[in-house]
A and B are shown apart, each in its own frame.
Chain A
Amino acid sequence: MKALKIAKSPDDAIKELLSSLFENQKIKGVFSLFYDQDYFYGLVTDKELFNKLTPTAPVMPANGGKMLSRLTMIEPPAVPIAVVLKPCELRAFYELSKLEQANLENLIFISFVCAGVLSLKEIKNNIEEKVANANQKQGLRECCQLCENFVPENADLILPLIDGDNKTTIFIKTERGEELLQGIENNLVEEDFDSAKLSSIKEERSRYREKTWQNLKTENLGIPGLIDIFGRCINCHACGRACPICYCNLCYFDSADNDSGPRVYEAELERRGALRAPSGTIFYHIGRMIHVSLSCVGCGMCSDVCPVSIPVGTIFTRVAEETQRLFNYVPGRNLEEKIPISTFEIKEFEELGEA
């Protein structure tokens, strides 16, 4: 694979590359993570602000894929924009494009091998120091520790981020990436990913995942076990709001269908002589699993925004593993693959329906 070497830290290397692309009119703007008093996603067309870029910081204040989909949903940008996203954000963006809520046109994708992000609660204090010291696992989202898809697949340019101090390699994955660099960067080298190093990280993640599933034992939960986990849910629906895959303008669970007016609670009292409030929390969570688990990218936004610290993303990652395996589907892997419930095979699940 062709690669570009820059003797700088990853963030500075990206800044340098983006600046030269900008000066050469190859891009007109950048969508990325920025830092200015706090971390946030932003779209910038003023080059003076490129110094606020912090593209690889281990922070996810919102799922960048969702944020970008909100900008491109109706129309793609009229001019080329470089986009820097983490692998799961990029995959979420791809899923949203399958759902016709995102547009890939005129976007150049840059991504990197992701070591995980800090939980938002962690970075509340001493934000800069925490980010600088975000070493292995300390304060990382659980979903990141479980993540096996930390190597981006569908970006034009990819940074492995394992070069060590002040050395950065940028791999050129696509023809579009090559075109982009043509006439700008002439000192390209041929190089391979250090896949050995990456596979050892993957093994470690897989072991952690196995261990977590063993502790969780979802297959023993039943409704009582789910109440143990979700019982303190205040039904705020923040998990869905933050989730890139929860794509509805009006969530079914916020709709009038779910107002538990007298008709509903009287029936409930007649049946069980009791009522739980807020009601419908288990219904919401299993319902959301039906709606999003096939496309869940395991980003962990849901856990991170939950005000009562329910490990929503861990549970969703677990169920997503099962439902995605059922259809041999990996969200965001390939734009040609339809989301499984929006398609079918004539010959499949043939035992269903015969009984």
Chain B
Amino acid sequence: MAQTFEPNLIGFLCNWCSYAAADLAGSNKLEVPANLATIRVMCSSRVDPIFILNAYLRGIDGVIIAGCHPGDCHYQTGNYYARRRFALLSKILKTFNLDPHRFRLSWISASEGQRFSQVTKEFAESIQKAGPNPLRKKPFID
């Protein structure tokens, strides 16, 4: 049963790298998870932790934020800020036992179509193992 569950995933992808990597994966016909909804952002630092919290409370199974490797951010340092915000959010989620494993940060450059496919596939599998977000069908949460 659990094996047949297709997780609903959101990917916030940096325009300058991971979004291009997703494109490359697509044109090379590499496999990516079926239910990965991608949202293009201009930098990983555009992703406010509030977006992730919102998606979680509405029942998303997993969120991945992908940006340029350290040192390669188009705006020099955006991804370092993104990393701190992610660390902060993860810490809060951990403190209250709010499924921190459903959220991932990954550096994927424009040329790494292969890595994009691999990272998203692995992430989807780990979420498959964890099972669906119990909040999805739970009434009267928020």
Question: What is the interface of chain A, defined by CB distance below 8 A to chain B?
Answer: 218-223, 225-227, 252, 268, 271-276, 279-283, 286-287, 289-290, 293-294, 318-319, 322-323, 326-327, 340-341, 343-346, 348-349, 352-355
- Say whether B1 faces chain A, with CB atoms less than 8 Å apart: no
Q: Distance (Å) between the CB of B136 and the closest chain A CB?
A: 7
Q: Which residue of B lies closest to A350 (CB)?
A: B70
Q: Are A272 and B97 touching (Cβ within 8 A)?
A: no
Q: Are A223 and B95 touching (Cβ within 8 A)?
A: no
* Chain A residues, CB < 8 A from B86: 349, 352
* Chain B residues, CB < 8 A from A225: 96-97
* Chain A residues, CB < 8 A from B67: 353
Evaluate whether A344 and B83 lie within 8 angstroms (CB atoms) in the complex, with A294-B88, A319-B92 already known. yes
Q: Are B96 and A353 touching (Cβ within 8 A)?
A: no
Q: Are A341 and B139 touching (Cβ within 8 A)?
A: no
Please, how many angstroms separate the alpha-carbon atoms of A179 and B106 in the complex?
Answer: 55
Q: Which residue of A lies closest to B80 (CB)?
A: A344
Interface size for B (C-beta < 8 A) is 43
Inter-chain pairs besides A272-B139, A276-B142, A340-B88, 18 sampled, C-beta below 8 Å? A221-B97, A223-B135, A225-B97, A271-B58, A275-B140, A276-B141, A283-B142, A286-B53, A286-B96, A323-B88, A323-B91, A327-B84, A344-B77, A344-B83, A352-B105, A353-B67, A353-B106, A353-B107
* Chain B residues, CB < 8 A from A219: 94-97
Q: Show 13 A/B contacts (Cβ-Cβ < 8 Å), sorted by A.
A: A218-B95, A218-B96, A222-B97, A272-B137, A276-B141, A293-B92, A322-B94, A326-B91, A340-B84, A353-B70, A353-B106, A354-B106, A355-B104
Q: Are B83 and A353 touching (Cβ within 8 A)?
A: yes
**B49 partner, pick from A272, A290, A294, beta carbons under 8 A:** A290
* Chain B residues, CB < 8 A from A346: 70-71, 80
Please, how many angstroms separate the alpha-carbon atoms of A323 and B49 in the complex?
Answer: 14
- Say whether B9 faces chain A, with CB atoms less than 8 Å apart: no
Q: Are B119 and A355 touching (Cβ within 8 A)?
A: yes
Question: What is the interface of chain B, defined by CB distance below 8 A to chain A?
Answer: 49-50, 53-54, 57-59, 67, 69-71, 77, 79-81, 83-89, 91-92, 94-98, 104-107, 119, 122, 135-142
Number of A-B residue pairs, CB cutoff 8 Å, is 121
Q: Are A273 and B97 touching (Cβ within 8 A)?
A: no
* Chain B residues, CB < 8 A from A218: 95-97
Please, how many angstroms separate the alpha-carbon atoms of A272 and B79 in the complex?
Answer: 35
B59, B80, B137, B141 pick with most chain A CB within 10 angstroms:
B141
Q: Distance (Å) between the CB of A292 and the closest chain B CB?
A: 11
* Chain B residues, CB < 8 A from A221: 96-97
Evaluate whether A272 and B88 lie within 8 angstroms (CB atoms) in the complex, with A252-B50, A282-B57 already known. no
Q: Distance (Å) between the CB of B79 and the closest chain A CB?
A: 8
A222, A252, A272, A354 pick with most chain B CB within 10 angstroms:
A272
Q: Which residue of B lies closest to A273 (CB)?
A: B139
Please, how many angstroms separate the alpha-carbon atoms of A276 and B84 in the complex?
Answer: 33
Q: Which residue of B lies closest to A279 (CB)?
A: B142
Q: Are B139 and A349 touching (Cβ within 8 A)?
A: no
Please, how many angstroms separate the alpha-carbon atoms of A344 and B88 in the complex?
Answer: 12
Q: Are B87 and A290 touching (Cβ within 8 A)?
A: no
* Chain B residues, CB < 8 A from A281: 142
